[in-house]
Amino acid sequence: MQETKTIRTTRDILKDVRDQGRIIGFVPTMGALHEGHLELIRTADKECDFVVASIFVNPIQFNNREDLEKYPRTLEEDLRVLEKNHCHLVFIPEVEEMYPGEVSEDYDFGKLEKVMEGKHRPGHFNGVAIVVKKLFDIVEPDKAYFGQKDYQQLLIIQKLVEKENLDVEIIPGSTVREKDGLAMSSRNKRLTQEERQIAPLLYQTLLKAADMVPEKKPGEIIEWARQQISAQPEFSLEYFEIADAGDLLPVKNFINNGNYVICLAAHLGNVRLIDNVIINS
């Protein structure tokens, strides 16, 4: 596996790969890799000839300083597992390499960025869009892989591709879960033992809520779910929403053949967790 730190070297290597007619698959990450990332790498390996990963903790997508500082960094282990899963090249730039000057792009994703993560983490999706656009410009992948755990991010990236007419196919990957249902996330590493034990309540609540669709009304389900989670004082629920899976607008009533997503964000101790379930009726 090749490791690069500069945009120049990465571009040079990938130009040769492209000239050989090989299909490039790309998995952008912020490191602290888990099975969710590795599943994306393995899918890319099956579908493409050359797999690129990036590891870059993107400062401009963090709206909370402590979250950025405490974001887990496990580079050595990340490199080991990437190599083991047949990644061909990993791009690990420093902040100065990605942002040599002032960052001024301001993307407008309309209503999609005004709900849920967009509402609670101002500027987050602009930061994600800026870095993903830059990474796409550097790697020029044929296919890029994003996990559905960050469902809203996936829709934002799809919109970015559409708005900027980018020549890349976005491939969603299913959320990978621990045995007890907790969605894999780099931030799980920051949970205490006690917090880790109760964390699966979030997914259990999502599953039970999904079971109530379409018999109960969205408002009733949300109220029930809020009570379930708030009954555990360790959790502080930020949002629990039932939305249209296409535009993420809140759903007032269920209709036949509707596609929905139930999303939540909650703080458990000092860690912010998000999760969702997708319902195709």
Shortest Å, Cβ 214 to ligand PAF: 31
Q: In the complex, what is the shortest distance from the CB of residue 211 to ligand PAF, in angstroms, rounded to a whole number?
A: 29
Cα gap 215→237, rounded to integer Å: 24
State the residues that interact with ligand PAF by CB under 6 A: 28-30, 58, 61, 128, 131-132, 150, 153
* DSSP per-residue codes, the chain: -EEE-SHHHHHHHHHHHHHTTPPEEEEEE-SS--HHHHHHHHHHHHH-SEEEEEE---GGG-S-HHHHHHS---HHHHHHHHHHTT--EEE---HHHH-SS--------GGGGTSHHHHHSTTHHHHHHHHHHHHHHHH--SEEEEEGGGHHHHHHHHHHHHHTT---EEEEEPPPB-TTSPBP-GGGGGS-HHHHHHTTHHHHHHHHHHHTTTTS-HHHHHHHHHHHHHTSTTEEEEEEEEEETTT-PBPSS--TT-EEEEEEEEEETTEEEEEEEEEE-
Told to judge if 124 belongs to the known catalytic residues of this protein, a careful annotator would answer no
Could you tell me the smallest distance in angstroms from the CB atom of residue 21 to ligand PAF? 27
* In the complex, least distance from residue 128 CB atom to ligand PAF, rounded to whole angstroms: 5
Residue 9 C-beta-side C-alpha neighbours within 13 Å: 11
> Minimum CB separation from ligand PAF for residue 112, in Å?
15
List the catalytic residue out of 37, 86, 88, 120: 37
Q: Which residue has the tokens 């690129």?
A: 52
Nearer to ligand PAF, 128 or 201 (CB): 128
Of 4 and 153, the one with the shorter C-beta distance to ligand PAF is 153
Q: In the complex with ligand PAF, which residue's Cβ is closer, 50 or 91?
A: 91
Residue 3 φ then ψ, to 5°: -120, 130
Q: Residue 148 or 153: which CB sits closer to ligand PAF?
A: 153
Minimum distance, C-beta of residue 33 to ligand PAF, in the bound complex (Å): 10
Which CB, 115 or 209, lies closer to ligand PAF?
Answer: 115
Nearer to ligand PAF, 152 or 205 (CB): 152
Give, in order, the Cα–Cα distances in Å from 218 to each of 27, 61, 189, 233, 241. Answer: 35, 31, 33, 24, 9
Q: Catalytic residue positions?
A: 37
